[in-house]
Chains A and B, each alone.
Chain A
Amino acid sequence: MAERIGFFVPCLIDHFEPDVAIHAIEVLKFAGFVVVVPKNQTCCGQPWFNVGLPKLALPYIERFVDRFGGLELDAVVVPSGSCASFLAKHAPETAKRKPGLYKKIKELSAKIREFSDLAYGKLKDVPLAMPRPTRVFYHNSCHMSRELGVLEPPLALIDQTGGVKREEIPLPLPCCGFGGAFSTLLPFLSYRIGERKLEEIAKTGAEVVISADSGCLMHLSSIAKKRPSNVRFVHLASFLYEALPKP
């Protein structure tokens, strides 16, 4: 029987790049999942947790539990690495501040799967191909790789895609400088870190920057707008959507 998965829409995707969510759902359906999208979702609460105000994250965790609890889901998919890492790794500990919440979120937390991680299991033998040859750079999300431990699936999915050449930079892991609240509290520094990351990426000759984290992507693309650059910023879900076999 097909796995039933809940789809969590990260707020940056919901309000800034809604197409990414549509693409992610199409990719997941193609992969054979039954996708359930609960109504009236909000942010996961990570911004308040990360800024040092975990109590303000509680209403968000409560809503998440309210929306996704009791749906008999096999997994909850999150198409953004850092939101997934918050829900999987930090939400339960945070929820201990509110009686009764921990038990409910703990159960759901265990079901959280980052999008590429989940998709890879079903797509690894699918003949993906880009319509025209493309040189890409994969930007790794720190939270996704270091906290969730999801590093290989997005690379493998990109590498199996026909017509794609993946470029790398010598020290591939440094952060892009987004850091959520960091980017608002220290905006110029955050900009400069991203700018230098883009300079490194530009040297590789990549035309497309792919990431599975909506925060990094929004940060990097808004910096790129200030610079002469033809690089496109694409969420992994949109990239895969484009690369799916056409009927």
Chain B
Amino acid sequence: MRTRFSLLDTPSPNLQLEANLDNAIAHYFQKRALTLAEIPEYQDLVQRARKIRLDTLNGLPSHLKRFRGVLEGAGVRVIEAKSAEEARRAVFDIAKRHDVKRAVKSKSMLSEEVCLNEFLEESGIEVVETDLGELIVQLAKEKPSHILTPCIHKSQREIAELFSRVFQRDVPDEESAIAELARVFLREKFFSADMGITGVNFGVAETGTLAFVENEGNLRYCALLPRVHVALMGIERIAPDMESLGTLLTVLTLAGTGQRAGAYTTLLSPPEFGRKAPEQDRFFYLILVDNGRSGLLSDPKRRETLACIRCGACLNACVVYRHIGGHAYQAPYMGPIGAILMPGIHPKGTERLGFFSTLCGACREICPVGIDIPGQLLAVREQFFHHAARSPAKGVRYLAFLLASHIGRHPRVVSLARRLVRPMLAIPYIEHVLGWGKARDLPVPASRSFQERFWGDHTDAA
């Protein structure tokens, strides 16, 4: 990833993308408003969920220890992966051990984060995405552009065209036709897969329960049909007990899709795992992935970012995301949460994401666990300038802001600058030199400032 801002900043907007995002997000807000109208206590739930998440993060090591203890006591194999590399390697080793040729996967942002698909496929293991949105993205040879709705950047017509091309038949622009085709295609994959790969929404420390939320039923197939199930879970996705799990699941679906609950909520507890005992030739593995999370956790100013429960609401609320879509972020996590999470877990080349925001605060307002995303964005921006001297692009920006700050702090210098700038605006094409004016007419400064008018031209230092 390059430290360039202009990558997505082009004079010609992508009108189709804007329209697709508008449609999907308008639908989201309608549904959300209808559901929330029935839940007057929603803000109380948010406050409770926030407290649960922050308390959990503050005591994460002990929660994790307890969680592992319960699982391992029940004979579950838990693997710790410090890095993306370790996580990929762990899945690969399991696949080799069990002679896996084909894996079915249910949507897992964590597997995107560790680039699992590419790695397995290079190793000769077929990976089939089974979440409809994720399948669409896979067939289009693209990446998800939304945490919850991976193909949000595509219209139904574009999806029908894609399916027509891939499946070599005439697919009408109809929801049912697209879903039916995917259903038939996936059915065969589910039954023939050797391994199922899923994410985990929450792991409950008290009981060792793993909670999964979905709307299509594909996750259950991935978890239960193949003889091997591998679940990838970020170390921060712990709920201390079943009661807090209930609160978290409620705000997750309310915020994510405006549903009171997902169509399918699956809870797997250690007895279920027990049935996948070796003698029955059924295997379950849980991979706990750190991949930079410990760093965020140990920074009290940045820890809050890990409270995220991946509902995707902040993407929908973000005016920047709604114009550029998820691919512009060039990162597995996009939108406001991507902009604060990526620089925390993978700083190289992602710190610039901190500037993909107008700091309007819509993300904080909609976040079901009340993360101060604008505050975290400011911390990312500070981080961006922290090593300004090491990168020319950062250095130039730092010097520009430093110079501006020196001009701005003296009223007389500002006035002088204003007088110098005024005639310069008549120079042809000057707007192309000054960043702000590249896209618009530069505003003309006044000939006399308010303070000069109010006090007369020669202000004394009062």
Where the two chains meet, the residues of A that have a C-beta atom closer than 8 Å to any C-beta of B are: 9, 11, 13-18, 21-22, 37-43, 47-54, 56-57, 59-60, 63, 67, 142-143, 146-147, 171, 173-175, 177-193, 196, 218, 221-223, 225-226
Min CB gap B270→A, angstroms: 44
> Are the C-beta atoms of B360 and A59 separated by less than 8 Å?
no
Whose C-beta in chain B lies nearest to the C-beta of A25?
B454
A13 to B11 CA separation, bound complex (whole angstroms):
29
Chain A: CB-nearest residue to B436: A184
A177 CA to B356 CA in the complex, in Å?
Answer: 11
Q: How far is the CA of A22 from the CA of B452 in the complex (A)?
A: 12
By a CB distance below 8 angstroms, the chain B residues around A193 are: 319-320, 323, 358
Given A38-B462, A40-B462, A41-B411, answer yes or no on A52-B436 (Cβ-Cβ < 8 Å): no
Minimum Cβ distance to chain B for residue A123 (Å): 22
A118 CA to B441 CA, complexed, in Å: 33
Inter-chain CA distance A14–B398, complex, in Å, is: 25
Q: Which residue of B lies closest to A222 (CB)?
A: B440
Number of B residues with CB within 8 Å of any CB on chain A: 68
B450-A13 in contact (CB<8A): yes
A17-B446, A189-B323, A193-B323 known; A39 vs B459 contact (CB < 8 Å): yes
CB–CB A186/B378 < 8 A: no
* Smallest CB gap from B444: residue in A: A16
CA distance A143 to B365 in the complex (A): 12
Complex: A221 Cα to B440 Cα, angstroms:
10
Q: Nearest chain-A residue to B461 (Cβ)?
A: A40
A37-B454, A189-B8, A226-B441 are known contacts. Are A53 and B319 too (CB-CB below 8 A)?
no
B interface: dominant SS: helix
Decide: A14 and B450 in contact? CB cutoff 8 A.
Answer: yes
The interface of chain B, by Cβ under 8 A from chain A, is 5-6, 8-11, 13, 18, 29, 319-320, 322-324, 354-362, 364-365, 378, 380-385, 397-398, 401-402, 404-405, 408-411, 414-415, 418, 435-446, 448-451, 453-455, 459-462
User: Which residue from chain A places its CB closest to the CB of B405 in the assembled complex?
Assistant: A56
- In the complex, what's the smallest C-beta–C-beta distance from A110 to chain B, in angstroms? 20
Interface pairs (15), CB distance under 8 Å: A11-B408, A15-B414, A15-B418, A18-B450, A40-B461, A42-B411, A60-B409, A142-B361, A143-B360, A146-B360, A181-B355, A182-B358, A187-B436, A188-B9, A188-B438
Starting from the known contacts A187-B435, A193-B323, 20 additional A-B residue pairs (CB-CB under 8 Å) come to A9-B451, A14-B451, A38-B462, A40-B462, A42-B408, A47-B408, A52-B383, A52-B385, A53-B382, A54-B378, A143-B359, A146-B365, A171-B29, A182-B355, A186-B8, A186-B356, A188-B10, A189-B320, A192-B439, A221-B443
